[in-house]
A and B are shown apart, each in its own frame.
Chain A
Amino acid sequence: MTSLLVDINALRQKALHELEGASSASGLEAWRVQYLGRKGEVPQLLRTMKDLPVEERKKLGQEANTLRNELENLYLAKSNSVTEDSTSASSQVVSSVEGGHLHPLTLALRRAQQIFAAMGFTIVEGPTIELAKYNFDGLNIDAEHPARAETDTFYLKDLPELVLRTHVSPLQIRGVLENKLKPPFKMFYYGPSFRSEKEDATHTSLFQQYEFMVVDETVNLANLKHIITTFYSLFFERAVEVRFRPSFFPFVKPGLEVHMRDQITHKGGWLEMAGAGNVHPNVLKNINVDPDKYQGIALGGGLDRLVMLKYGIPDIRLLYSGDLKFLKQFS
C-alpha cells in the first residue's frame, strides 16, 4: 500500500524532471505520450489500482488523479510556449502555414453573384428569420396551405408572426418594398432557407437557395429561358440545354419546372434544376405593381444542388459536415 504512494511520488518526480528537459514540440509530444497517453505511465498506474480494496482505492485514486491533473496543466502551459519549430541543431524544417480553402458553396455563390451582376441584376439580401406574411401570404400562399403546417415549417416559440424562411422568395416582397423598386427592375437574391424534414443524401433542414425576378412591361418565358440558359452555361462553363415542363407554385402562373440536359452523370435524360414561371398577379399587387400594366418572371433553385452537380458531391450533408477532409478539397 505505502509502496504505491511511493510509486506515485517517484513517478511525479521523474515526469517533472523530464518535462523540464523537453524543449521542442516533438520532445514535448513524446513526453505526453510517455506519461499521459493511452498507454502512458499515469493511466497505467491508475489501472493497477482497480484490484485494491475500496478505501485504499479511493485515497490512492485521488492522489493519482491529482497527479494527472497537475501534469496535464503543466503540459498545456508548456505547449503554449513551445513552437512547432524544431530546435535541433541543423534542422531544415520550417514551420509554414498551409494555404487555406474556400467552401464550395462560397465558390458557387460568388460565381452566381458575378454572373447576375454582369446581367444587370440588383443584388438583395434578407433575414433568414422572416415575417410569415412575406414568406407565405405575400406570395399567394394562404392560411390554409399545407406547407404552413408545423410538420414542414420551423416556427419560433412565442413569436407567431415569424418563421424560419422556407425559401428566399419572401425577398420578392421585402426586396421590392424595402428598396422601393418600381418597374422595370431585375433582382437577384439568395441565402439560407429551412424545412423541417428528415435528412438524407439530398435533403437537409438547412439549405441554400438562389432566385431571381424580373418585372417590366413585356418580360416573358422566352426571356426566362435566355436568362437561365446564360446563367447555367456560365456556371457550368459549357453550353447547356434547358427545357420547361408544367409545374405548380402558388406564386407563379403559369408555373413550370426547369430541366437541364444531363451531361454530368452521363445517365442521359434531364436533371430537375429549378421552379419558375410568370409572377402571379396577386404577388404583383402585393408589391404595388399594377398587373394590368406590368408582368414578371421568377425562378428559384437550390445552390447546394448546383454545387453537388458541379463538384461531383454525392451527399448534401457533406456541405455542412465541417469536416476538413471535405472542406479542403475544392480550392
Chain B
Amino acid sequence: MQISYNWLKEFLPTLTASPEEVAEQLTLHSVEATVANRIEVDPTITVVKIVKLDVHPNADRLRLATVTDGEKEITVVCGAPNIEVGQVVPYSPPGTTVHDEEGGSFKIKEAKIRGVKSPGMLNSLRELGLHREHAGIWVLPPDVPLGSKLADHIPPDTILNLDVTPNRAHDLLSHRGVAREVAALLQIEMKEIAVPPLPMATSEVEGYTVAVADAEDTPRYIGALLQGVGGRPAPLWMQMRLLASGTRPINLIVDVTNYVMYEVGNPSHAFDRAKLASSAIGVRRGKENEKITLLDETVVEVSPEISVITVGDKAVAVAGVMGGMGTEIGDTTTDIFLEVANFRPYLIQETSRRLNTRTEASTRFSKGITPTLASEAAARLVQLLIELGGATLQGVIDTHPEAFASKVIEFRPRRVVSLAGTSIGDADMRKVLERLRFAVAVQGDVWQVNVPSDRLDVVIEPDVVEEVIRITGLGAIESKPLESLTPVALPKLVYWREAIRDLLVEQGFTETYNYSFEPEVEAALLDHDQEEKVEVLNPVSPDQKYMRARLLPGLLKNLLTNKDDFHRKFSKQERALFEIGSVFRKGKNGRVPEVVEREHIAGCIVGGTPDVQQVVAAIANALGTELPTNSFVGPLPAAVLKGLKYRLPVTAFEFDIADMISRAQDVSVPIQKLSELENANIPVVQFTQYSQHPSMYRDISLVVHTKASAQEVEGTLKEAGGELLKDVELFDEFELSKKDQKSLAFHIEFQALDRTLTDDEIDKVQGKITTALKKKYQAEIR
C-alpha cells in the first residue's frame, strides 16, 4: 500500500524523522515499510490556459493549442483527445524533463511535429511522473493561478510502500491509521481531523429507504442524501493525495469518496439520484442469472454467494467491490445517494475471488473494518462535499446507529516477561498501551485493557502481550539457553536412510530430487500396472495432474535431461542416479484416509556398471534383510530405451525403502553432542554456473616419440584448446611396431557457456591443437 509522507505530516505536525527513518521504525515495530519513490514536479512546468484550438495542417489527429500564461501566448502541437478551450493545463517548455512509458525520463526539445514547430508540450499525468494515465492531458482545477509554476502547488513528496500483514489490515490501510501508529512509535503528537458530527439518522429521507436483508452480511449501512453538489474538479491538493495513493482524479464526488477511503479507511460509493429508478435501496444476496454491468464495463453474472445493492429490487452494484454502470456519477450529477457501509469480510473475499475482481474497496472490506468507522467516514465525506462542492445535506439513514460494544481484555503484565523472556516495568508497559490508544484500568495483577475500535486484531491476552513486546523492542530480547539440552540419537529410519545414501554414493550414484507430480510422458513409457493414482484437483499444468505412483518415471526424465552426459565416452563420468522420496496411490490403511503414501528408493544405471543386482544386494546386506516383494530390479525394456532415444543400455531398481528399513537389523545409533558438531570444517563447494548449450566431442589420435610423456602432451593439448576446451581424456596408449614410436588417443570435449559451437569454430580450435602438438612433439596426427 502506498503512503504519502507529506500526507502523514498533516497528521503529525512535529514529525522530523525522514521517510527512511519512518520506514525503518515501522519495519522494526509494525509492518514492513520501504521508501518506494519520490514525487517531484519539474520546476519549469508552468500553469497555462488554452485560449484557441486549431486543426493541424498536416495531421488529422493533432491540433494546435494556443495557450496563455497570463502575459504572453504560444502555440504548441497537441495530440490529446480531451483538450478544450478554457481548460487550465500544465505546459512544459523545452528543457523540461518528462517521463516516458518505461519509467525513464528525457529532456524535451523544441521540435517540428509534422511540419509545425512546437515549443514544448502540454502534459499528461504520466509525463509528469504522477500516474500511469496517458490517455489525455491533465486538466487542472480552474482556480490554479495562470503563469505560476506547478511545482509551487505540488511540493516534493516521498512515497512509502507498506506490506501490511492481515492482522493489521483493519487499521493500517489508511493514512490516519498509519499516522496514529507512527505517532505511537515515535512518541509525537497526532493531530486528529476535526469533523462535525452528522445529524440524527432517520429511517427515511426524501422518500429514500434502506432495507438490509441480512445484518450478518451487512453489519451497517449508512445512506446520506446530498443535493446541489457542484460538478467541478477536486482541488489540486486532493488530486495530489489521490495520485500519491496510486489513484487518478476523476471528478469531485468520486474523488472525495476515494480520498476518504485513503484517509480513514472506509470505502464508500456515490449514486447519481437522477439515474435511480426507485427510492427503495436494498442490500441482499444475488439471484441466479441476475446480471450487472460493472463500472469497468464487464458484465457480471450474480449468484446467491454474492451480495448486491438494489434499487427497487433491481441489482445495480456488487456490494463492497464495485459500482455498476447506469447509476454512476457523471459530469451533470448534482444530487447523490452516498453509501457508506460495512460488509462481512468473508463475503467480500469470496465475491472478489469468484468475479476475479480486486479493487481498493474490496481489499479493505475483505480484510475487515470496524463498523464504528462507517459513521466517522460518512461525517467526513459530508463535510468535504459541503466545503468543496457546495452541497446541502438532506438527511442520513443508518441501519445501526447504536454504538458497537467495545472489547475489554483481562491482561496480566507478568505474561509479557513470561512469553518474551525480557523484563519490562509495569509503568512502561502501561505507557506503551496508552500510546497505542488502549485505555488501561489497573487492578492489581490483572489490568482491564480497553481496545480501540479499529484494532479488530486484538482479541485475547496474547494479542495485548504482542502489542507491548513489539513496541518495547523485540530487539531487546537476549538469547537464553534452555535449561537442559540432553542430546538424543537419530531415529532408526533416518540413520538407515542416510547409510543407504552413502552406500549408493560409494557405488557411483548421484542423488536427484524430482517433483511429486507424475510426468505424463515418461510414466506412459513404463506402462506399469495401473495402480489407482491420486489425482490433483487444481494441478499446476494438465500434464502433471497425478501424484507420482513410482519414482522411475521421474528418473527417466532425468535420463533424458542428462542424455549427452551419460553417453560421454570419457571414463570419468557419472552414470547412475538415485532418488528417495514419497509415492502415492489410492488405498486404505495409510496415514490419512483413502491415500497410501510410501517412501520409495529408485535408481538407474547407464551402461551396466555398477551391476544393478550387486547394488541391491549390497543394500540388503547392509540392512540385514531382504528386498520387499514387488521390487523391480533389472534392465529397462528396449522399447523404453527407444522411446528415450537412448543408445546405451539402462538397468534400474525401485522398491519400498521404508518397508525394508522397518525390517532392518538392530543397530545402536550413536549419540552426538553439540560440541562434536562444532568446527566440522566440512568443505562447502560454491555453485558454479554451467553452460546450457550442448558439448561437442572429437577424438584425436597421434603418433609421438615413446619418450614423450602422455601427461605433458595432454597439458599441451589443453593449453592449445583454450577456453572452449572443456575436458580431455587419454583413452588409448600403445607402442607401435615402428621403433621408438607410440600412439596416443584422446577424447576431447568442447563447449561454450553462451552459445552452441559450430563445426567451423571447433575445426579452428582443433587446428590450433594439432599445430601445437606438431610443433612441440613433431606429432603425426592420424
A contact residues vs B (CB 8 Å cutoff): 25-26, 29, 32, 72-73, 75-76, 79-80, 83-84, 86, 88-103, 105-106, 110-111, 113-115, 117-123, 125-131, 144, 146, 149-151, 154-159, 161-162, 164, 186, 192, 194, 196, 205-206, 214, 218-223, 225-227, 229-230, 234, 237, 243-248, 253-256, 278, 280-281, 295, 310-314, 318-331
- Number of residue pairs A-B, CB distance < 8 angstroms: 321
CA distance A53 to B645 in the complex (A): 31
CA distance A32 to B482 in the complex (A): 67
Contact A80 B574, beta carbon cutoff 8 Å: no
CA distance A314 to B465 in the complex (A): 39
Contact A245 B474, beta carbon cutoff 8 Å: yes
Pick 25 A–B contacts, CB within 8 A, sort by A: A76-B649, A79-B649, A84-B607, A84-B608, A90-B733, A93-B731, A105-B513, A123-B494, A128-B597, A144-B349, A162-B594, A164-B536, A225-B480, A230-B674, A237-B684, A246-B31, A253-B463, A254-B420, A255-B167, A311-B684, A320-B513, A322-B513, A322-B557, A324-B561, A329-B688
* Given the contacts A97-B508, A310-B684, A118 and B421 also touching, CB distance less than 8 Å: no
Contact A92 B733, beta carbon cutoff 8 Å: yes
CA distance A122 to B478 in the complex (A): 25
Contact B494 A113, beta carbon cutoff 8 Å: yes
Task: List the 5 shortest-distance A-B pairs measured between CB atoms, nearest first.
Answer: A222-B421, A220-B421, A254-B466, A322-B558, A222-B480
CA distance A98 to B505 in the complex (A): 10
Q: Across the interface, which residues of A come within 8 angstroms of B673, CB to CB?
A: 118
* Given the contacts A79-B648, A91-B732, A322-B558, A196 and B538 also touching, CB distance less than 8 Å: yes
The answer, yes or no, to whether B589 is at the interface (CB within 8 Å) is: no
Contact B649 A80, beta carbon cutoff 8 Å: yes
Q: Mark the stretch among B59-67, B215-223, B277-285, B565-573 that contacts chain A.
A: B565-573
The answer, yes or no, to whether B493 is at the interface (CB within 8 Å) is: yes
* Given the contacts A114-B672, A244-B475, A129 and B677 also touching, CB distance less than 8 Å: no
Q: Which residue of A lies closest to B683 (CB)?
A: A331
Contact B569 A29, beta carbon cutoff 8 Å: yes
Given pairs A229-B479, A254-B420, A254-B466, 6 additional interface contacts (CB within 8 A): A99-B505, A110-B498, A154-B539, A255-B167, A311-B686, A311-B687
Contact B674 A119, beta carbon cutoff 8 Å: yes
Q: Across the interface, which residues of B come within 8 angstroms of A150, CB to CB?
A: 537-538
Contact B592 A131, beta carbon cutoff 8 Å: yes
The answer, yes or no, to whether B404 is at the interface (CB within 8 Å) is: no
Q: Across the interface, which residues of A come within 8 angstroms of B617, CB to CB?
A: none
Contact A100 B507, beta carbon cutoff 8 Å: yes
Contact B672 A117, beta carbon cutoff 8 Å: yes
* Closest-CB distance, B604 to chain A (whole angstroms): 11
Contact B680 A237, beta carbon cutoff 8 Å: yes
Q: Which of B30, B469, B557, B681 has the most CB of A within 10 A?
A: B469
Q: Across the interface, which residues of B come within 8 angstroms of A103, CB to CB?
A: 511-513
CA distance A278 to B607 in the complex (A): 55
Q: Which residue of B lies closest to A315 (CB)?
A: B687
* Closest-CB distance, B691 to chain A (whole angstroms): 8
CA distance A83 to B418 in the complex (A): 70
Contact A32 B513, beta carbon cutoff 8 Å: no
Contact A214 B677, beta carbon cutoff 8 Å: no
The answer, yes or no, to whether B203 is at the interface (CB within 8 Å) is: no
The one of B554, B608, B681, B730 that contacts A83, using a Cβ cutoff of 8 Å: B608
* Closest-CB distance, B35 to chain A (whole angstroms): 14
* Closest-CB distance, A214 to chain B (whole angstroms): 7
* Closest-CB distance, A331 to chain B (whole angstroms): 8
* Closest-CB distance, A263 to chain B (whole angstroms): 14
* Given the contacts A99-B506, A113-B490, A119-B674, A281 and B462 also touching, CB distance less than 8 Å: yes
Q: Across the interface, which residues of A come within 8 angstroms of B686, CB to CB?
A: 311-312
Q: Mark B150-194, 1 if CB is under 8 A from A, else 0.
A: 000000000000000111100000000000000000000000000
* Closest-CB distance, B650 to chain A (whole angstroms): 11
Contact B575 A254, beta carbon cutoff 8 Å: no
Contact A157 B487, beta carbon cutoff 8 Å: no
The answer, yes or no, to whether B524 is at the interface (CB within 8 Å) is: no
Q: Across the interface, which residues of B come within 8 angstroms of A243, CB to CB?
A: 474-475
Contact A219 B672, beta carbon cutoff 8 Å: no
The one of B29, B515, B537, B597 that contacts A155, using a Cβ cutoff of 8 Å: B537
Contact residues, B732-781 vs A (CB, 8 A): 732-735
The one of B353, B574, B590, B672 that contacts A118, using a Cβ cutoff of 8 Å: B672
CA distance A131 to B32 in the complex (A): 33
Contact A214 B511, beta carbon cutoff 8 Å: no
Contact B678 A234, beta carbon cutoff 8 Å: yes
The answer, yes or no, to whether B470 is at the interface (CB within 8 Å) is: yes
CA distance A89 to B732 in the complex (A): 10
Contact residues, B26-56 vs A (CB, 8 A): 27-32
CA distance A158 to B619 in the complex (A): 39
* Closest-CB distance, B523 to chain A (whole angstroms): 15
Q: Across the interface, which residues of B come within 8 angstroms of A120, CB to CB?
A: 484-488
CA distance A189 to B108 in the complex (A): 61
The one of B574, B647, B676 that contacts A79, using a Cβ cutoff of 8 Å: B647
Contact A76 B641, beta carbon cutoff 8 Å: yes
* Closest-CB distance, B68 to chain A (whole angstroms): 52
CA distance A295 to B412 in the complex (A): 15
Q: Which of B469, B479, B686 has the most CB of A within 10 A?
A: B479
* Closest-CB distance, B542 to chain A (whole angstroms): 13
CA distance A329 to B684 in the complex (A): 10
Contact B485 A312, beta carbon cutoff 8 Å: no
Q: Across the interface, which residues of A come within 8 angstroms of B512, CB to CB?
A: 103, 322, 327
CA distance A42 to B573 in the complex (A): 30
Q: Across the interface, which residues of A come within 8 angstroms of B496, CB to CB?
A: none
Contact A192 B516, beta carbon cutoff 8 Å: yes
The one of A94, A151, A322 that contacts B561, using a Cβ cutoff of 8 Å: A322
CA distance A161 to B701 in the complex (A): 66
Contact A295 B418, beta carbon cutoff 8 Å: yes
* Closest-CB distance, A228 to chain B (whole angstroms): 9
